Amino acid sequence: MSSQWWREAAIYQVYPRSFQDSNGDGEGDLKGVISRLGYLKDLGIDAIWLSPFYTSPNNDGGYDVADPRDVDPRFGNLKDAESLIEKAHEIGLKIIVDIVPNHFSTEHRWFKEALASNPGSQARSRFHFFDGRGVDGEIPPNNWCSIFGGPAWTRVRENDGSLGQWYLHLFDSTQADLNWENPEVWSDFESTLRFWLDKGVDGFRIDVAHGLAKEEILKDHRDPEGLTRALRLDVSDMAREERESLLSDVPFFDREGVHEIYRRWRRIFDSYPGERMSVAEAWVHPSSRAVRYVRSDELHQIFNFDFLIAEWEANFLKAAIDKTLTEVAEVSAPATWVLCNHDSPRLVSRLGGGEVGRKKARAMALLTHALPGGIYIYQGEELGLEDVALPDSARQDPVFFRTKGVDKGRDGARVPIPWQANEKSYGFSTGQPWLPMPDYWSELSVESQSKPESHLAMYRQSIHLRKEIKEDLEKNVEGENGATSLHWLTSPKGVLAFTRGENFALFANTNDHEILLPLADVMPGHARAGHRGNWIVALSSSREAALVAETLTLPPHTTIWLRSAPK
Ligand code: GLC
Ligand code: CA
């Protein structure tokens, strides 16, 4: 096993409910994932990150956990989880599971106990229960808003039937925020970590990792609605200065107290055999604060969402790459790159949709896959799926309901995976899929993408090839940071160009016109080093890309990988 496998890993996110259904109830499950392990192995990935499959009323896609140490019947049972871990390991795939420490479902035993207990009780102190303001306590303890819309507080009925205290929920009202000042919360999560570590998982994705410690919980915020809009990845009509000012100080995110928790967790991970890892979902601002989560005694990785909101635009991308690599180098952590996930629009759609969106998405993926660090791929990204315009009647995301339909929510990116071209529900399920699958997806199915120029084939090649490139860099590049750095080449406007080591070069044309580029103009050093004429196109995001007579033809919205061939 190579050391610190996660540093440059390709990690694939499975959203179990939408991956593969094994029993015809229309929802994906763990047995379904097991049946598709071969597909994932072929793709060349190193690890699978599974979104939650724990006991849950499923009001927020399982991120409302009612028992973190058991499997929800809709996904199977604990035996299935054990068998998935075992079978993945047998074929050399690692398993990362989600942990959701910011909140519990209101169906969790603890919350029921809290409801049955009196104000001020030990049971209530596991959550954030407070009296309301106003004559009858009818005004919430503060003015914070839920990130899913509406107030961040819900009032409960006390045992005598009267309206009583309020509890905090930064997300849905069925997701009660936990009070991390209470040592019981610490020990319960440690039990959960150990439970899954004992079962052999290789790591954890930590949900809302920046949210656990809260400060000034009874103070109003100057602009609570603005703040939640600033925090939403799908809101784009806010002025940058306004957003930055709001995000620079969020009383419930990125408080100093979170780091103590992760230092403690790190000691637990390190006490287990093998190389267990963790990755934080912590979208903090400015990004220089993000690397504080991956200091050497804290977590291993943090998602870098710069590319998740990036346009296909050279200056922005170059600046984001430089900033990320500089920041992670300060703490000796690896970079990560994320193009989409279950909370964001799908990449092709975000980049404009249709043929052009697809072209840009392919080019963006090849750019990302060649960068130093780890990559995360969200299921269906490798197929070039787009968001689905669902009828409102099919929607299930609490965002849709809490904003009264103003925000459509995230269901469009969660539609099940099409496997077969002509089967019912494209082979996802023999029953009725939980979200309707479009009737035009046949061409996008896994089965239809066997040709070498398909989206899927390109992902397979890039995931395999990036491993070779990495091995080559490790062998041939000297110096501590040699293998993890890149060297920019001077290139025409709208073109990104860099080398990594002596044998790899990348060119990305973000322009909507073709660029002809004589290699000697951009890589004079490499020409002198004796490589002239040895470069070959290793991979390209469009078929028209070419290297003829030492001149590169870069079609619009295209990324091309060059490797130098042995002499
Ligand atoms: C994270 C999850 C998201 C969920 C939220 C609340 O952001 O990725 O799906 O809704 O946390 O748990
Ligand atoms: Ca099922």
How far apart are the CA of 463 and the centre of ligand 1, in A? 27
Q: Which residues of 188-209 are buried (b: 16+ CB within 10 A; e: fewer)?
A: bbeebbeebbebbbbbbbbbbb
Any ligand 1 atom below 6 A from CB of 208 = yes
In whole angstroms, what separates CA 317 from the centre of its chain? 18
Asked whether the predicted pLDDT for residue 531 surpasses 60, the reply is: no
Q: What single-letter DSSP state applies at residue 178?
A: B
C-alpha distances in Å from residue 132, one per residue of 35, 182, 295, 557: 51, 21, 39, 55
Q: pLDDT band at residue 566, thresholds of 50, 70 and 90? A: low
What is the reported pLDDT for 96? 98
Mark out the alpha helices in 235-275 (DSSP H runs): 240-247, 257-270
Q: Of all atoms in ligand 1, which is nearest to the CA of residue 171? A: 6
Asked whether the predicted pLDDT for residue 529 surpasses 90, the reply is: no
Task: Round to whole Å and give the CA distance between 253 and 285.
Answer: 10
Task: Round to whole Å and give the CA distance between 110 and 108.
Answer: 5
How far apart are the CA of 427 and the centre of ligand 2, in A? 13
Any ligand 1 atom below 6 A from CB of 171 = yes
- Segment (H or E) for 78: helix 78-90
Task: Round to whole Å and give the CA distance between 114 and 169.
Answer: 15
Average the pLDDT over 228-234 and give the result. 84
Q: pLDDT band at residue 195, thresholds of 50, 70 and 90? A: very high
Asked whether the predicted pLDDT for residue 62 surpasses 70, the reply is: yes
For the chain, the distance separating the N- and C-terminal CA atoms, rounded to the nearest angstrom, is 32
Q: Of all atoms in ligand 1, which is nearest to the CA of residue 64? A: 12
Give the pair of three-digit tokens for residue 163.
Answer: 């309206």
Q: Taking the complete model, does pTM exceed 0.85, yes or no?
A: yes
What is the reported pLDDT for 565? 75
Task: Round to whole Å and give the CA distance between 404 and 336.
Answer: 35
- Best residue for ligand 1 mutational test, from 15, 51, 63, 210 (most atoms within 8 Å of Cβ): 63
Nearest-CA residue for atom 12 of ligand 1 = 63
Asked whether the predicted pLDDT for residue 164 surpasses 90, the reply is: yes
Any ligand 1 atom below 6 A from CB of 413 = no
Nearest-CA residue for atom 9 of ligand 1 = 343
How far apart are the CA of 449 and the centre of ligand 1, in A? 31
Q: pLDDT band at residue 3, thresholds of 50, 70 and 90? A: confident
Task: Say which amino acid occupies 513.
Answer: H
Phi, psi dihedrals of residue 7, rounded to the nearest 5° = -60, -40
Q: Of all atoms in ligand 1, which is nearest to the CA of residue 342? A: 9
Any ligand 1 atom below 6 A from CB of 343 = yes
Q: Which residue of the set 177, 254, 281, 306 is catalytic?
A: 281
Mark out the alpha helices in 314-454 (DSSP H runs): 314-330, 347-350, 354-369, 398-402
User: pLDDT tens digits, residue range 254-294?
Assistant: 999 999 999 999 999 999 999 999 999 998 988 889 999 99
C-alpha distances in Å from residue 142, one per residue of 121, 247, 305, 540: 21, 19, 30, 54
Task: Round to whole Å and give the CA distance between 60 and 170.
Answer: 13
Cis omega (within 30 of 0) for bond into 286: yes
User: pLDDT tens digits, residue range 454-489?
Assistant: 999 999 999 999 999 999 898 887 665 666 789 999
Task: Round to whole Å and give the CA distance between 131 and 382.
Answer: 49
Residues in a beta bridge with 374? 336
Q: Of all atoms in ligand 1, which is nearest to the CA of residue 63? A: 12
Any ligand 1 atom below 6 A from CB of 290 = no
User: pLDDT tens digits, residue range 19-37?
Assistant: 999 999 999 999 999 999 9
Average the pLDDT over 152-174 and give the result. 97
User: Coil, helix or strand for 277?
Assistant: strand
Nearest-CA residue for atom 2 of ligand 1 = 207
How far apart are the CA of 22 and the centre of ligand 2, in A? 5
What is the reported pLDDT for 397? 96
Task: Name the least confident of 39-48, 108-117, 144-153, 471-480.
Answer: 471-480
What is the reported pLDDT for 286? 87
Is the Cβ–Cβ distance between 14 and 50 less than 8 Å?
yes
Any ligand 1 atom below 6 A from CB of 60 = yes
What is the reported pLDDT for 272? 98
What is the reported pLDDT for 1? 39
Any ligand 1 atom below 6 A from CB of 63 = yes
Task: Round to whole Å and give the CA distance between 176 and 179.
Answer: 9
Q: Of all atoms in ligand 1, which is nearest to the CA of residue 102? A: 12
Is the Cβ–Cβ distance between 501 and 481 less than 8 Å?
no
User: pLDDT tens digits, residue range 95-143?
Assistant: 999 999 999 999 999 999 999 999 999 999 999 999 999 999 999 999 9
User: Coil, helix or strand for 336?
Assistant: strand
How far apart are the CA of 50 and the centre of ligand 1, in A? 13
Nearest-CA residue for atom 7 of ligand 1 = 208
Q: What single-letter DSSP state applies at residue 420?
A: -
What is the reported pLDDT for 82? 98
Any ligand 1 atom below 6 A from CB of 46 = no
- Segment (H or E) for 193: helix 183-198
How far apart are the CA of 21 and the centre of ligand 2, in A? 4
Taking all residues of the chain, what is their mean pLDDT, rounded to a whole number? 94
Give the pair of three-digit tokens for residue 456.
Answer: 């899927």
How far apart are the CA of 63 and the centre of ligand 1, in A? 6
Is 207 one of the annotated active-site residues of the chain?
yes
Q: Which residue of the set 8, 207, 381, 386 is catalytic?
A: 207
The contacts found for 530-533 with CB under 8 angstroms, 24 or more apart, are 530/567, 531/502, 531/564
How far apart are the CA of 80 and the centre of ligand 2, in A? 12
Is 281 one of the annotated active-site residues of the chain?
yes
User: pLDDT tens digits, residue range 494-509?
Assistant: 999 999 998 999 999 9
The tokens 């029953």 sit on which residue? 431
Is the Cβ–Cβ distance between 144 and 252 less than 8 Å?
yes
Q: Of all atoms in ligand 1, which is nearest to the CA of residue 343? A: 9
User: pLDDT tens digits, residue range 322-372?
Assistant: 999 999 999 999 999 999 999 999 999 999 999 999 999 999 999 999 999
Task: Round to whole Å and give the CA distance between 457 and 447.
Answer: 11
